[in-house]
Structure 1
Amino acid sequence: MLIGIALGLFVGLIMGLTGAGGGILAIPALMYGMGVALTDARPIALIAVGLAAMVGSFHGLRLKLLRYRAALVLALAGGLVVPFGMALGHQLSPVVLHCLFSVVMVIVGVRMLFSGKELTLEKNNLVGIVCAIAPDSGRFIWTPKTFFVMVAIGLVAGFFTGLLGVGGGFIVVPALLAVSPLSFNSAVATSLMVVALNSLVAVGLALPNGVALTIPVELFILCTVSGLFAGRILGKCIPGQWVRYGFSALCFSNAIVMAVYF
């Protein structure tokens, strides 16, 4: 029971700091920390991450960090392909899913490690930027290119939400930082709304098959939500570079564990 509390707080903390690490870390935590099978860990992780992300997105909206129009486009596009990802995930063996998860974690870790852009609104005039934002409001300047780029990011994030049982934030945050001059905190807040909506779709599709909820698992879910608050508070004090390096190290270590012990 204490393990579930500790792991839930840890996953929520990382999610609050990065907006990208909830599902990526929740599934290994449930599997290797609490002995939950992969097939059961996926919907449980989605519930925990989805609820925490919902709370975090409201917090981001209150602070005017959330770009809700972009989040809606990302989530609507993602919701269209979540069922296809889930269908493919049911066809693959646990061994293949373990390997895929390990590969994804390595890619995410490398992407975060070398994502050295500390983007601010003042960089809105960067030459060749794909999705521009208005310097005065911080909102996206919507053009056909911006719309289709957001749809593309949403489709990829939604597919992996269904396939691996993760929220998709590990795709949304780096992608937003790569294609726009959005600040890191705004990218995190926007990602949390996308994660919440994508997770809601995936959980709704998974519920007919049943979800193995026990008291330790329920505590894990509740503590994930609580940990997110701590992560959002600490995020104001910890340099973004430290967050990226720490998260990358966690991704690499989890990938090794999953590759060795699947």
Structure 2
Amino acid sequence: MPLDATGLSLVMGAAVGLVLALTGAGGGILAVPLLVFGLHLQMAQAAPIGLLAVGLAAALGALLGLRDGSVRYRAALLIGLTGMLVAPLGVRLAQRLPNAPVMATFAALLGWVAWRGLRQGSRAAREAKRPAARAPVCAMNPATGRLSWRAPCTALLALTGSLSGLLSGLLGVGGGFVIVPMLAGISNVPPRGVVATSMAVIALVSVGGVLGAATQGTLAWPVALPFAAGAVLALLAGRRLSARLAGPRLQQAFGAIAAAVALLLLLRAVGAAT
């Protein structure tokens, strides 16, 4: 028997939560395409639903990360609060721009994420064996777990928050695909800490986008609630799998999926524009 809209929303949300648990970065960027193709929503309708689901799932992941001490909470607060301030701007832009160019922008962004996932997946094992060439901009003291708060570090973290906030409001993505590589590139925070910190930021940034959509009356709650429930439940289950499945092959698989979805979105955007 085919699933109704509620059941389909639950299943699609579960797929988003599982990806978020495994990567800390990919759930949000797959949520909107699933809603666009699975439930035939417009980008402006799908974006806040995806943001709500990813935000709730990320909040749960962040709380679990805080419990085990893997969240760098000062960095998460700076990135997240900056993103919260910028996210409503992205929501306003999403409501004013036509659907086709927004979808094409999302497809281009997803294509970049796919390329990065495939490229980094093939290089991860080799680069992991290389010694660090220089101290990172945001160096973490392994003994205390605290970052060195110098001006370049603070500026880069604030820039990361601004970009993730804008994309969150405009496209309904959590911003983890920006936060994870940025934080990993400028710091020596362990991968588990990067993922947990990313989830904390996504939870904060999502607040601005969801509130902006809710106050403007563009959040479809009958779809959003089961979608979010599926994401939260799958994230709990996915955390048990993350230690065994994480690695270069997972990055490559996510990159391949993202590339296929990007192509489908681009074709749909071209069809909508003609």
> Hey, what does 2:249 align to over in structure 1?
242
Q: Report the 3-state secondary structure (helix = DSSP H, G, I; strand = E; otherwise coil) of the residue aligned with 2:14.
A: helix
Conserved 8 A contact 1:82-1:202: yes
1:26-41 matched pairs, under 5 angstroms: 26-41=31-46
The structural deviation recorded for 1:113 is 2.4
Residue 212 of structure 1, aligned match among 220, 227, 248: 220
> Hey, what does 1:177 align to over in structure 2?
184
Unaligned runs of 5+ in 2: 1-5, 270-274
The structural deviation recorded for 1:29 is 0.9
> Hey, what does 1:94 align to over in structure 2?
99
Conserved 8 A contact 2:80-2:205: yes
The structural deviation recorded for 1:218 is 2.4
The structural deviation recorded for 1:239 is 3.5
Q: CA RMSD in A?
A: 1.9
Q: Structure 1 residue runs of 4+, over 6 Å off? A: none
The amino acid that maps onto 1:209 is Q
- What TM-score do you get using the length of structure 1 for normalisation? 0.92
> Hey, what does 2:240 align to over in structure 1?
233
Conserved 8 A contact 1:89-1:162: yes
- 1: CA distance between counterparts of 2:78 and 2:224? 32
**CA distance 1:207–1:139, shift in 2 (3 Å):** same
The structural deviation recorded for 1:117 is 4.5
The amino acid that maps onto 1:17 is L
Unaligned runs of 5+ in 1: none
Cα shift readout 1:96-153 (whole Å, capped 9, x = no counterpart): 0010000000111222222344798x96x64152211112233312212211111111
Of stretches 239-248 and 50-59 in structure 1, the one that deviates more from structure 2 is: 239-248
Conserved 8 A contact 1:112-1:174: no
- 1: CA distance between counterparts of 2:105 and 2:231? 24
The amino acid that maps onto 1:79 is M
- 1: CA distance between counterparts of 2:135 and 2:147? 15
Conserved 8 A contact 2:85-2:208: no
> Hey, what does 1:65 align to over in structure 2?
70
- 2: CA distance between counterparts of 1:126 and 1:134? 17
- What TM-score do you get using the length of structure 2 for normalisation? 0.88
1:69-148 matched pairs, under 5 angstroms: 69-115=74-120, 116-117=123-124, 126-148=133-155
The amino acid that maps onto 2:236 is F
Conserved 8 A contact 2:77-2:201: yes
Aligned residue pairs total 259
The structural deviation recorded for 1:169 is 0.9
> Hey, what does 1:48 align to over in structure 2?
53
